[in-house]
Structure 1
Amino acid sequence: MPKPLSSLATWGLAAAAAGALLVGCSSEEAKLPKDKVANTVAEKLAAQTGQPKPDVTCPKDLVGKVGTTLRCKLTASDGSSLGVTVKVTSVDGDDIKYDIKADG
């Protein structure tokens, strides 16, 4: 297999097992800014894989409603990329918990 696929497999396995807890901004509807979600996903994946922090981008803020999903894009240091789904699992006030799952 080419090197980019092994890198994608590593990120995919890490993303499948990842989860995060963040604190959103105070508002009537809890939301996490897209840049904050992307940064936390990247940091968590880097810590789990021991690889350099990937570039993760998300198209919009994450709304704090259970079941809400957000599709982000991960680009590894070798240029390979894959999709990442962020899914809200629980919300307690402004605390939003979500799971991360990379495309297979």
Structure 2
Amino acid sequence: MKIRSLALLSLLVTALTACSVSIGTPKVEEAELEKSVKDSLNEKVGQEPDAVDCPSDLNGKEGTTMRCSLTAGGDRLDVILTVTSVDGDTIKYDIAVDQG
């Protein structure tokens, strides 16, 4: 089952929305971002990853990308986040599991 879930994860691309209030450029705080990615993967695949680790907050500037890591069992996969739009303090981003 783990192999099946990892195969599904490798095909996953989904849109996420996160809100954050900040002064200046809006951002999604690191802990909130990791939880949001983890919850979304659980919802889409039906299996929660053991951990999602992002290096920092995600700045709300369209086109910004960030590489996070996902751990499921003994496997580690890279996850790419891409900001698709920003409306005030609402940041929308896509998440994709890196194939390489």
Unaligned 5+ segments in structure 2 are none
For 1:4 and 1:63, the matched residues in 2 are separated by: 33
Counting matched residue pairs gives: 99
2:32 to 33, 36, 39: 36
Of 3-12 and 49-58, the range deviating more from structure 2? 3-12
1:61 to 50, 53, 57: 57
Instruction: Identify the residue that residue 102 of structure 1 maps to in structure 2.
Output: 97
2:9 to 11, 34, 43: 11
Instruction: Identify the residue that residue 46 of structure 1 maps to in structure 2.
Output: 42
Describe the superposition over 1:43-87 as per-residue Cα deviations: whole angstroms up to 9, x where unpaired.
Answer: 0101111113431010010000000001100001x2201000000
For 1:72 and 1:59, the matched residues in 2 are separated by: 7
Describe the superposition over 1:10-39 as per-residue Cα deviations: whole angstroms up to 9, x where unpaired.
Answer: 22223x2x1100101231110111111111
Relative to the length of structure 1, the TM-score reads 0.86
For 1:5 and 1:69, the matched residues in 2 are separated by: 27
* Aligned-pair CA distance for 1:4: 5.9
Unaligned 5+ segments in structure 1 are none
For 2:64 and 2:6, the matched residues in 1 are separated by: 25
* Aligned-pair CA distance for 1:5: 4.9
Q: CA RMSD in A?
A: 1.6
